């Protein structure tokens, strides 16, 4: 069994490193082009593998933090990827039962995360739980309003999901490994080591949203 967890750890590290370096590439290349689609897909699967292995690893080291962060990252990656297939909700009111179910389960899971954060007085986990619950709630509200979406709503969801997943991955790296790369192995105190990627990442998401709403986003022809 120990061999399994060792291999799981190496796979997690490899997937995390891949996602860490691929995400910026997908952001800077022309949106909608073959390079964007290719690197975006690599990032998605890297986050799926990193999240799945983190969940498995959290059971071994008994880390609730790792478990909840992995769930958040996986959900957001799935949210961002699934949005690519929901463009028709701008004119079609039919929402698949699968999408309703995922958003509903996500809302319950993140509300549970918030409850855990309150009981354990863990503000960092509470922030991710609140962000996840807000996302799932907006999904459900959006599905209820299917057929009346703006034409770019799917793109806003795509950006939010993938960038939020990346923020979660960087946060986990910051908490568990960043001190190895800092002078003197300096450790950023908790909860700042967990929250600084969110502080930097949320304004980036908002900036991209403004670009999309202003029709200033370059796409491939």
pLDDT tens figures, 24-68: 999 888 888 899 999 999 999 999 999 999 888 877 666 777 788
pLDDT at 65: 75
pLDDT top residue among 11 and 181: 11
pLDDT at 148: 92
The Cα 135–Cα 106 span in angstroms is 9
Mean pLDDT of the chain: 89
Using CB atoms within 10 A of its CB, is residue 49 exposed (0-12), middle (13-18) or buried (19+)? middle
pLDDT at 221: 40
pLDDT at 220: 47
Give the tokens for residue 13: 């590290």
pLDDT at 21 over 80: yes
- Express each pLDDT in 56-77 by its tens digit: 887 766 677 778 888 999 999 9
Give SS3 for 12.
Answer: helix
pLDDT at 217: 55
Banded model confidence at residue 132, pLDDT cuts 50, 70, 90: very high
Out of 12-26, 43-57, 96-110, 174-188, give the one with best mean pLDDT. 96-110
The CA distances from residue 37 to 40, 133, 153, 180, in Å, are: 5, 28, 18, 33
pLDDT at 61: 65
Q: What percent of the chain has pLDDT over 70?
A: 96
* Tokens 């502080």, located at residue: 199
Q: Which of 23-32, 87-96, 102-111, 210-219 has the lowest mean pLDDT?
A: 210-219
Give the sign of the dihedral formed by CA 47, CA 63, CA 127, CA 174.
Answer: negative
* Tokens 């034409």, located at residue: 151
pLDDT at 62: 67
Q: What is the mean pLDDT of residues 144-173?
A: 93
Phi-psi region of 150 (alpha: psi -120 to 50; beta: other; left: phi over 0): beta
Contacts of 186 (CB under 8 A, 6+ apart): 179
pLDDT at 180: 79
Q: What is the mean pLDDT of residues 153-182?
A: 90
pLDDT at 81 over 50: yes
The answer to whether the bond into 191 is cis (omega within 30° of 0) is yes
């Amino acid at each position: 069994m120990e061999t399994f967890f060792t291999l799981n750890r190496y796979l997690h590290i490899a997937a995390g490193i891949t996602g860490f370096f691929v995400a910026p590439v997908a952001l800077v290349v022309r949106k909608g082009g073959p390079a964007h689609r290719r690197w975006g897909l690599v990032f998605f699967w890297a986050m799926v593998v990193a999240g799945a292995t983190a969940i498995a690893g959290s059971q071994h080291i008994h880390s609730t933090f790792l478990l909840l962060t992995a769930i958040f990252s996986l959900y957001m990656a799935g949210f961002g990827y699934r949005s690519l297939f929901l463009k028709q909700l701008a004119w079609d009111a039919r929402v698949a039962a699968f999408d309703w179910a995922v958003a509903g389960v996500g809302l319950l899971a993140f509300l549970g995360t918030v409850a855990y954060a309150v009981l354990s007085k863990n503000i960092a986990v509470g922030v991710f739980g609140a962000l996840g619950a807000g996302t799932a709630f907006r999904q459900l509200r959006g599905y209820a309003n299917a057929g009346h979406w703006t034409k770019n709503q799917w793109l806003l969801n795509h950006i939010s999901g993938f960038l939020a997943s990346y923020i979660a991955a960087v946060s986990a790296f910051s908490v568990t490994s960043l001190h190895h790369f800092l002078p003197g192995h300096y450790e950023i105190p908790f909860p700042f080591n967990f929250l600084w990627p969110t502080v930097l990442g949320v304004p980036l998401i908002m900036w991209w949203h403004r670009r999309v709403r202003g029709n200033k986003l370059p796409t491939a022809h």
